[in-house]
Amino acid sequence: MIDVVVDGVVASVVLDRPAARNAVPIASWDRLAEAVEEAAARGSVVLLRSAVPGTFCAGADLGEFPALMADPALPPRLRAGMARATAAIAGATVPVIAVLDGGCFGAGVAIALACDLRIAGAGAGFAVPPARLGIGYPQRDIDRLRAVVGAGQAARLLLTGDRIDAAEAGRIGLVEMVVPDAGVAARVMADRIAANAAESVAALRAGLRSEPGGDARFDALFAGKALAARLPRR
């Protein structure tokens, strides 16, 4: 259900499980982590997208919930798999853009939150419904949601479980762009990012993640080859 497709400088991680609206089973979370790492090694930018029209990701696979309820060993396994996948996305060596042309729910929102940027199609919809199901949400994913939309909006989404449309997601900052075609807009943005100096992109992403050594990175880039190559010749 998860493939890697390379097109020039851009590598896509493609979710393709139409019968389940791209719901991710327990066994596939590790594959998602591996696919992101593979794509990051093959492209300057990674797009995380769906091959299923009208759907990004329905979240964890509800079909596995009876087994999760019956076997106490399975919920920690699901949580650990989700953590590995979202950590691989958040820690990718190149920028990752979520292409949200459709429904994005539950763990699908967690996947999107781990990306650097989120671009939504006009018909996208979002919900974080664990409260409606009587379950919780991994703490790291709650932290990411709060960091992106703020404490109050995170509380609204988590505690009500209400669905919001793309326009509302843009208004509260859950997505950075709402456009008619998320795939086209994401590719344009990916090409613009890829055209920039890779060293600068890496340093700026490290700064956005508040990694230590920001001043040293700033100073070192002036001694690098990228700046010299891009200065206008006199």
pLDDT in tens, 209-226: 899 999 999 989 888 777
pLDDT in tens, 91-100: 999 999 999 9
CATH 3.30.70.260 fits 2-190, yes or no: no
Q: What is the DSSP secondary-structure string of 62-95?
A: GGGHHHHHH-TTHHHHHHHHHHHHHHHHHT-SS-
- Alpha-carbon distance of 155 to 93, in angstroms, equals 31
3-class secondary-structure state, position 163:
coil
- The residue with tokens 């919930």 is 65
3-class secondary-structure state, position 200:
helix
What residues does each domain of the chain span? 2-190, 197-230
- Alpha-carbon distance of 155 to 152, in angstroms, equals 5
49 contacts 12 by C-beta, under 8 angstroms: yes
pLDDT in tens, 48-73: 999 999 999 999 999 999 999 999 99
- Alpha-carbon distance of 233 to 47, in angstroms, equals 35
- pTM for this entry: 0.95
